Structure 1
Amino acid sequence: MKLKSLLNVALSAAVAASFMIAGSATAAPIKITGAGASFPAPIYSEWFKDFAKKTNGEIKVDYQSIGSGGGIKNFIGHTVDFGASDAAMKQSEIDEVPEGVQLLPMTAGAIVIAYNLPGIDGLKLPRDVYPEIFLGKITKWNDAKIVAANPGVKLPDTPITVVVRSDKSGTTFGFTGHLSAISSDFKSAVGQGTMVQWSAGNMVKGKKNDGVSSAIRQTPGAIGYTEYGFAKLNKLPTACLENKAGKFVCPGPEGGAAGLANAVLPENMIVFIDDPEGDTSYPIVTFTWMMFYKKNKSAELAEALRNMVEYCLDEGQKIADKAGYIPLPESVVEKVKAASKNIQ
């Protein structure tokens, strides 16, 4: 009896230990790693913190803001579970990923032209003026073309310092795409790209959107392009730009939403809006994408990624406006939800 009792105790202990091991394995949080665009980094940070709370810590997302070029590079190199880019991916890059790629636009934003002119708010820049500033053809703030668009505003005789990105950037891709669409001179001299050869002379470079924003803030007479949320965070004044309809529209949620309103997503989920139609449209708006493997390392990871996407499309869109981003139109949300099923 004594031997039998000892055996029963040993067996019970083994079963209990087995249960504890299994229980701890299932309770261990799933860690998702991502990297890429700095443009959406502020809202991604908010989303992922709240998502971890909503899942009681069962799914944690670690996102590194390294720029769109770095995000694509890391995604192709399989050092992350997902990448992020404002420039989407080229087909040649997609072809380098044997697991297949699913691109999903997750949020959208406005690219703004911010400047450092103390005491001057609501500066108006016509569409034949701001491309010339970034081409280096307009070099003083009291240039006749800027003065004509801003009657009653005392513009200083200050040299313009142009601030651009030093790294491969989806924000640069969107900005140069717009300038190329409205200026044939810009298109031929500079063109569109994630990194371009700027022709302006008096220039400062900054890394990522926060680097550009900081450089503008620290440089009297500076002008540069950055994401709307970064300009808000740094309390930088932003220019009201003349749109395709000839109306001056200041950056903000209404103008941004109007700029996205007519966007139609094709099957590959990639669409660029270089010069939107509409009287109320802000002229420089862009989607920003997350990049996923269609075939992932495990079914558990794939499910966690789909849950993350669902959160971003539902709860996440509710804070987009407050964070300085443009909530996705409902028609876009539905298409993205359907496409997310390809993450397996």
Structure 2
Amino acid sequence: MKLKRFGTAAAFLAVGALTLSACGGGPEAGAGSSGAGEDSGVSGTLIGGGASSQEAAMTAWSQGVTDAAAGLTVNYDPVGSGSGREGFLNGQYTFAGSDAAMDDEEKAQAESVCGPEGVFHVPAYISPVAVAFNLEGVDTVNMDAETIAKVFAGEITTWNDEAIASQNEGVELPDTPITVVHRADDSGTTENFTAYLHEAAGDAWGFDEVETWPSEIAAESAQQTSGVVSLTQSTDGAITYADASQIGELGTVSVGVGEEYVPYSAEAAASAVSSAETNEDGSVELDRSTEEAGVYPIVLVSYHIYCQQYQDQETADLAKAFAEYVISEEGQDAAAEAAGSAPIDEATREGAAERIGSIGVQG
């Protein structure tokens, strides 16, 4: 199922109609709201933009929310996490989808749109980030964090390098050159992936956790998740990182964790998030260097970012109705079916519901 893309020009027209720079708050919702049952009665169009990783889930959410709010239309532009946050801060979007939480500077900027109480994050979408490759005859390989880091840093350049071969006894690896493919745009997926490399690979990754791929590394690039997947699919020997729901038939890396190699799965990603610490703004802190059995450590926690206070009641009611549906069991199940994501656990749902329920109107 493909998301109906909401073009930038159309977004600005809709923004004008909705007065997106104005933001508001609706009636309090119970923390246990399921997103189903009696229609909420809200009506209007909600405009969001950001993480392309959420594309399939957003399709399911924009269709499913009509069960809880028949008059609510959601349009989402999958322009990438950085552009989504920028659009939110510029008043283009009522909410942002982002694979990375806002930093302190962005949260300070948000006060000009949302008022002094600023923004909060809802962990709406949890998915493994797959290390995916195109290598004829090979469906999966094992790599530990150090090896993955050296591949993406350009230090390991062929598939039959001893560092890879030694972890894949019995697998016939060709001498095909490795082509690294990364995101060209500012990307929360890049930030999550490089956070893993920075924390788990030690000195093998000589860069920080970054949202923009290091320019010093010789590699190919493409825009958004669909772009890196497409380029990898068409390039023999290519390797990339992408939301696992969108990699298609590409081969994948099982990641070294402790004494085992863990393939990606929604369950293994959920295990990484369930033990994470939650910050005051709703974002979470993951242990990327874990050695816990069965945990897949390259995890993307993609957020929906909302104003804590909006400027008008109508916009707040729309945002609240959609946010409640997304975190509901129905909403999370719809995303899991459409995108293979991992549903949030009950503790995460309760914390998010409390923040959503407190959305108000700027006084």
Fold match (TM-score > 0.5): yes
Aligned partner of 1:318 in structure 2 is 333
Q: How far does the alpha carbon of each residue in 1:293-336 deviate from its partner, in whole angstroms, 9 at most, with x for none?
A: 12213212212211111111111111333322111111111100
CA contact (8 A) 1:251 1:282 kept: yes
Q: Judging changes above 3 Å, is the alpha-carbon distance between structure 1 residues 290 and 158 closer, same or farther for their aligned structure 2 residues?
A: same
User: Taking structure 1 as the reference length, what is the TM-score of the superposition?
Assistant: 0.87
Q: Does 1:170 align with 2:188?
A: yes
Name which of 203, 209, 224 aligns with 1:192.
209
CA distance in 2, matches of 1:44, 1:94: 24
Q: Does 1:70 align with 2:87?
A: no
Q: How far does the alpha carbon of each residue in 1:268-289 deviate from its partner, in whole angstroms, 9 at most, with x for none?
A: 1122312344100012113111
Q: Report the AA paired with residue 164 of structure 2.
A: I
Structure 2 spans left out of the alignment, 5+ residues: 1-40
Q: Does 1:306 align with 2:324?
A: no
Aligned partner of 1:36 in structure 2 is 50
**Offset at residue 182 of structure 1 (A):** 1.6
Q: Does 1:81 align with 2:94?
A: yes
Q: Does 1:214 align with 2:227?
A: no
Aligned residues: 312
Show structure 1 runs of 4+ deviating over 4 A. Answer: none
CA distance in 2, matches of 1:110, 1:279: 16
**Offset at residue 153 of structure 1 (A):** 0.9
Structure 1 spans left out of the alignment, 5+ residues: 1-26
Q: Judging changes above 3 Å, is the alpha-carbon distance between structure 1 residues 276 and 288 closer, same or farther for their aligned structure 2 residues?
A: farther
CA distance in 1, matches of 2:276, 2:56: 24
**Offset at residue 55 of structure 1 (A):** 2.5
Aligned partner of 1:242 in structure 2 is 256
CA distance in 1, matches of 2:259, 2:98: 31
CA contact (8 A) 1:190 1:199 kept: no
Q: Report the AA paired with residue 209 of structure 2.
A: Q
Q: How far does the alpha carbon of each residue in 1:72-110 deviate from its partner, in whole angstroms, 9 at most, with x for none?
A: 111111111111111110111111122221222112111
Q: How far does the alpha carbon of each residue in 1:229-269 deviate from its partner, in whole angstroms, 9 at most, with x for none?
A: 011xx2212111102x2310001122112222211212211
CA contact (8 A) 1:158 1:221 kept: yes
Q: How far does the alpha carbon of each residue in 1:205-234 deviate from its partner, in whole angstroms, 9 at most, with x for none?
A: 011111111111010000010001011xx2
Aligned pairs for 1:1-344 within 5 A: 29-56=43-70, 58-98=71-111, 99=115, 100-187=118-205, 189-201=206-218, 203-231=219-247, 234-243=248-257, 245-273=258-286, 274-314=288-328, 315-322=330-337, 323-344=339-360
Q: CA RMSD in A?
A: 1.6
**Offset at residue 28 of structure 1 (A):** 9.3
Query: Which structure is higher in RCO with an 8 Å CA cutoff and minimum separation 6?
Result: 2
CA distance in 1, matches of 2:67, 2:301: 27
Q: Judging changes above 3 Å, is the alpha-carbon distance between structure 1 residues 186 and 176 closer, same or farther for their aligned structure 2 residues?
A: farther
